[in-house]
Amino acid sequence: MTDRLAAQFAFLNESDRLKSVLRATTLVDGSRPENSGEHSWHLALYALVLADQAAPGVDINRVIRMLLIHDLVEIDVGDVPIHSANGQAHASAETMAAEARAADRIFGLLPNDLSGDLQALWEEFEAAQTPDAIFAKSLDRVQPVMANLMSGGGTWVAYDVSFNQLESRVGVKIAKGAPGLWDWIRVKAVSWFEIHA
């Protein structure tokens, strides 16, 4: 039991470092960059509150668990903003390989049973093939859209993003798991880009 708890807390203490990983997106009030720990909390709350936007059969409890762990690899790799490098860096082979190594290291701190369960959940999220993962990805994509709308443009201004780029890089993925959500927020994004283009 003692060794098991030591491994559980080694993971929980290492996870604390996610609070120091900064994202390109700011808080809703624009006051500072968001960190990936508080981002993960906000997304889990999104899942709790927007569960009615998920397809039938999506298990919101699994979605919440996925979102709680989805960014832990950033402790080693950092956040790769979706609009950086003209939208090419986020899902590059290099980034994905580095994230896989980070997952081995970080989930590997846990006792074997937990390590296997949580790494499989992270891999399911990354693969974005199951209904739970597709919905989780939609939430991960919609939250920065709302933050940008609230904070005056945020990463759209910082990376000189067009509405078409937003739709192709982000909107398509939101719509895949939560079409009603993209319909609703798309209207607001269109207005923003019309005013600020």
- Residue numbers of the site for its own copies (CB under 8 A)? 1-2, 4-5, 8-9, 11-13, 15-17, 19-20, 27-29, 31, 34-35, 37-38, 40-42, 44-46, 48-50, 52, 61, 64-65, 68-69, 110, 114, 118, 146-147, 150, 180-181, 184
What's the closest the beta carbon of residue 33 comes to its own copies, in angstroms?
11
What's the closest the beta carbon of residue 159 comes to its own copies, in angstroms?
21
In the bound state with its own copies, the residue whose beta carbon lies nearer, of 34 and 99, is 34
Contacts of 79 (CB under 8 A, 6+ apart): 21, 22, 23, 24, 36, 71
What's the closest the beta carbon of residue 88 comes to its own copies, in angstroms?
29
In the bound state with its own copies, the residue whose beta carbon lies nearer, of 42 and 169, is 42
Closest C-alpha among 20, 142, 2 to residue 75:
20
In the bound state with its own copies, the residue whose beta carbon lies nearer, of 101 and 188, is 188
In the bound state with its own copies, the residue whose beta carbon lies nearer, of 15 and 95, is 15
What's the closest the beta carbon of residue 176 comes to its own copies, in angstroms?
18
In the bound state with its own copies, the residue whose beta carbon lies nearer, of 16 and 160, is 16
Burial grade of 1 (CB within 10 A; 0-12, 13-18, 19 or more): exposed
Tokens of 181: 């959500």
What's the closest the beta carbon of residue 150 comes to its own copies, in angstroms?
6
